[in-house]
Structure 1
Amino acid sequence: MKRILNKLFSKLVLGGLIIILQFSWFVYLLYSATVYSSMVDALFKIASIVLALFVSSRDMRSTYKTSWIFLILALPLFGIPAYYLFGRPGLTKRTRMKMDVVSSRIRAYSSPSDDVMSALRAEDDSAGQQAQYLTRYAGYPVYREADTQYYCCGEEMYPQFLEDLKTAKSYIFLEYFIAEPGKMLDAIVEILAQKVKEGVDVRFMYDGIGCIQTLPNKYYCYLQEKGIKCACFQPFRPLMSIIQNNRDHRKITVIDGKVAYTGGMNLADEYINARVRFGYWKDAAIRLTGECVWSFTSMFLELWDYILKIESDYTFYRATSMEKHRLQEKIHADEKGFVQPYTDSPLDHEDVGENVYLNIISRAKKYLYIFTPYLIIGSEMRTALVNAAKSGVDVRLVVPGIPDKKLVYFLTQSNFPYLIKNGVKIYTYTPGFIHAKCFVSDDVQATVGTVNMDYRSLCLHFECGVWMYRTRAVLQVKEDALKTFAESHEVTLEEFQRKSFLVRTFMGALKLFAPLL
């Protein structure tokens, strides 16, 4: 009973109710105006048509347009205000301008290496095209591999993660969507507090919505008392605002500019299976060393400076990073791979995360293996997967066997029939929930990061990942995929067809609103 009451009176539920009341009141005012004035009603209908035409002309994916146009024309009293609040994919112009200033300052310290790009193009021009795209449109260069280590689950990564934190001498940066007190976070905070006493600069950044139900009130005060600097990205406020649409979904740890981590794992006990929520929680992380760590350092500082309205000493961090990596160059001189960290932002209207995926799909020749917790894709991604399968590529996707969100899982399943009929193999992870976001293809390229295969992750959130070509981790991802297939169940078309007519109809109706969820 206490747990139920806590959820009912949580900040998210109460704040959500306040927003719903505001929205309902706004819709009621519009309804009243249309009922009591035929002129207002006519103007409102004209406005819905004009807005639908405007949405149709916007430079955005067709599935997203279709969903909003249907809602605006079918239910204008609801659709018009809803589009104003949630339909615009970017942040406000003022917010974009502020972040652009920070971005332009820090990008000056991430000049691409022509030698590395030339070496990659000489080895594989197709891979060079992917790297060129990321350099131009994500703003982060490609690097020679120093070392990449892939972890197939949280409990495998966690001990090394703690050891790396203990080695910090200068600074530790952490940026996570979700953090929750427990075995994992408490142990990390204990190390961070000790590092502060040793003079290490420790900074922790978290998302306002991601942590609204997991962090206690004023948890940042608890951390600040230990000397840990904190920043919250867009704290939740119970006001109707487009800014609530864009979240910091990235997962980044940087230690001394020497070691970086990214992947699907947040800082909560289910990610290391110290707590069971949806069966076994399978996730993925990657540990990187070398000059590429600077890209994650700059990603963190860019958002940190924006939130706190400061300007960090980028020269210091860049020089410190370069000094450390010169010492490592000889150690890893035999490595032949390439790595390229990247970030995706709703500011630039460039869907970097999705385009990385599409480029990998289109260039696959023998096989393409994918881990994703959600499969809510538009026609572009669906067509690319099907075309690859029709071309003889062994395309396999693994989705959860035990979902975390039932409604979203219905949408995921609604994509199964078309994909399976056209040669794509779908597996459900029998032991539980798979939260990893990984692509691997042909033993040569892979990406590990935070980008889900759903609209919010591909278009609305701040995301990150690392693309790799012929690194050690590429084959580690493949090995993990093969083991995961053996533990999973391959879905057949007959299974879907055995679902009741009502369930299949419900799934079909949900697809119309998929981009809005």
Structure 2
Amino acid sequence: MRVEKRTNVRNSIMRLFVVIVAVSFQIFWLLNLFGQLRFISPKIGQAINNLAILVALWIYGRDKNISINVPWMALILAFPMFGMGLYFLIGRTSLFNHVKEVYAHIDLFLYRYFHQDWSILEEMESVDIDSAKDAHLIWNCGHFPVYKDTAVTYYPEALEGFNAQIEDMKKAQHFIFIEYHAIEDGYSFGQMKEVLIERAAAGVEVRIFYDDMGSIGFLNKSFIKEMESYGIQCRVFNPIRPWILVFMNNRDHRKITVIDGQIGYTGGYNLAEEYFNRTHPYGYWKDTGIRLEGSAVRSMTLTFLEMWNATNPTHQAMANYLIAKPVPSKGFVQPYADSPLDDEYLGEDVYMSIVNHAKKYVYFVTPYLIITEEMTRVLTLAAKRGVDVRIITPGTPDKQLTYMFTQSFYRDLVRGGVRIFEYIPGFPHAKMCISDDTVATCGTINLDYRSLYLHFENGVYLSHVDCIAKMKKDFDHMFDLSKDVSEDYKGDINMIVRTWRAIVRLIAPLF
């Protein structure tokens, strides 16, 4: 068994290597082909330069975030043929209009099952007008309702959430839906797999959905055949291919488990060994998760079905899956999801709205910190009006290049009053925000460009829910284990370092 798994992983890594080589060859061949045009005559060279200026101006006028537009403009003006070629290959969202149409058709069908009980929003307004405004934002921009009657449990460690998932799966009677960015067919997932196989044999409908890029170092295509042999439906999102496809850059980063439509799990952790500290490649791995039980699980079920049907449309009786029953509990719960295929940046907007409404404090924990000028300004303005704004980032990074990008954003933040803490024991992979002991989020959305603009993500907005107190306690514990590095980045820096950080920040959105 172990030898076979190592072979599977080796085969998957080889597939990734072949894809990278093939795509790189295609890109450089096309760029070289077009680049030769510059040397045919001076007039053609000048025409290309003029075209580069026009393309840069067109990009500037796009209805997109300026922090994303500027890097493309700089690249095109500095290296016209290379920049324009790369932009027309991977920078234009219009290149996957067909994919947008597929999702739009599915969402149009699913939206009829998202119902907002307006009496809940009215009650929310009477309790906390600011959090009600956040809920309106999520409904208006994402069409995700806010619910009551949903019990929420917070897990400060990924392993606690994982073990609770397994116990709930053992009791499943109707269906189990699993959607994860990364699944590793190792010891941890093996425990869950045994339960899934047993439940499938008992007649429970089991579906597994995973991202190809996220799992390519862990799984081989034979995994799907194995699962299907046990009666488990299994699909892979956006398989990577050895030719240029713009959509390959958009990954499914969601983490969702739904059990019988009544219980839902999400959080930062994937189903792989390092997330449960069975391996320690980057020191202690800090991850978190939440469990929902009750009405709000309906939205998580529909979010899963969106991705499942986008891969291969399936005719199904929706009433069989939307069977969540209310569980009397305190507060308001609003699961939501973000997509790179629309013109709404819901993940970023929710974070900025929480910061704007903060009165005493707002805390974040994120493995990566690569943010827009808008987000930087919102955070620093909150700090300047007296809000205690803190961000926890890794003390031990998993990717040196991304860590370099992260550190390049420290100076502007700390000079604006934001405090940066680096988690000394290792790598905090959790993605959470909490403010004023009253609102919080937990999910998959990092404070970086890929999560905020390129990936399919999900989260849960919580207002006046009991578990927020436990989340605050966990934040305080993380601060105790972290080093406040704010003072290290407040001072003046020499021209070389400043120039280098400017370059790093400029190119960060392109990665």
Q: TM-score, normalised by structure 1?
A: 0.94
Q: Relative to structure 1, is the Cα distance of residues 195 and 291 closer, same or farther in structure 2, using a 3 angstrom cutoff?
A: same
Matched, 1:119 2:123: yes
Q: Relative to structure 1, is the Cα distance of residues 37 and 145 closer, same or farther in structure 2, using a 3 angstrom cutoff?
A: farther
Match of 2:46 in 1: 42
Q: 1:170 is matched by which residue type in structure 2?
A: H
Q: Aligned to 1:303, which of 304, 307, 311?
A: 307
Instruction: Please tell me the root mean square deviation across aligned C-alpha atoms, in Å.
Output: 2.0
Q: 1:157 is matched by which residue type in structure 2?
A: G
| Range moving further from structure 2, 225-234 or 487-496 | 487-496
Shift of 1:91: 6.4
Matched, 1:61 2:65: yes
CA contact (8 A) 1:361 1:388 kept: yes
SS in structure 2 at match of 1:206: strand
Q: Aligned to 2:148, which of 131, 141, 144?
A: 144
* Aligned pairs for 1:476-491 within 5 A: 476-491=470-485
Counterpart Cα distance in 2 of 1:237 and 1:203: 24
Q: Aligned to 1:88, which of 71, 82, 92?
A: 92
Counterpart Cα distance in 2 of 1:174 and 1:421: 43
Q: 1:408 is matched by which residue type in structure 2?
A: T
Counterpart Cα distance in 2 of 1:372 and 1:90: 30
Q: Aligned to 2:453, which of 454, 459, 468?
A: 459
Shift of 1:39: 4.2
| Range moving further from structure 2, 176-185 or 503-512 | 503-512
Q: Relative to structure 1, is the Cα distance of residues 188 and 367 closer, same or farther in structure 2, using a 3 angstrom cutoff?
A: same
Shift of 1:122: 1.6
Match of 2:427 in 1: 433
- How many residue pairs match? The answer is 505
Match of 1:401 in 2: 395
Shift of 1:496: 7.4
Match of 1:372 in 2: 366
SS in structure 2 at match of 1:108: helix
Q: Aligned to 1:415, which of 406, 409, 412?
A: 409
Q: Relative to structure 1, is the Cα distance of residues 482 and 270 closer, same or farther in structure 2, using a 3 angstrom cutoff?
A: same
SS in structure 1 at match of 2:213: coil
Match of 2:345 in 1: 351
Question: Which residues of structure 2 form unaligned runs of 5+?
Answer: 1-5
Match of 2:506 in 1: 512
Q: TM-score, normalised by structure 2?
A: 0.95
CA contact (8 A) 2:156 2:288 kept: yes
Counterpart Cα distance in 2 of 1:501 and 1:216: 48
CA contact (8 A) 1:8 1:14 kept: no
Q: 1:440 is matched by which residue type in structure 2?
A: I
CA contact (8 A) 1:171 1:201 kept: yes
Q: Aligned to 1:182, which of 176, 179, 186?
A: 186
Q: 2:405 is matched by which residue type in structure 1?
A: L
Deviation sequence 1:408-459 (CA, Å, 0-9, x none): 1011111112211221111000000000000000010000011111111101
Deviation sequence 1:211-238 (CA, Å, 0-9, x none): 1222124221111112110111110012
Deviation sequence 1:46-92 (CA, Å, 0-9, x none): 22122111101101111111111000111112111211232235661
Q: Relative to structure 1, is the Cα distance of residues 500 and 172 closer, same or farther in structure 2, using a 3 angstrom cutoff?
A: farther
Shift of 1:471: 0.4
CA contact (8 A) 1:212 1:236 kept: no
CA contact (8 A) 2:37 2:45 kept: yes
| Range moving further from structure 2, 307-316 or 166-175 | 307-316
Counterpart Cα distance in 2 of 1:213 and 1:503: 36
CA contact (8 A) 1:90 1:346 kept: no
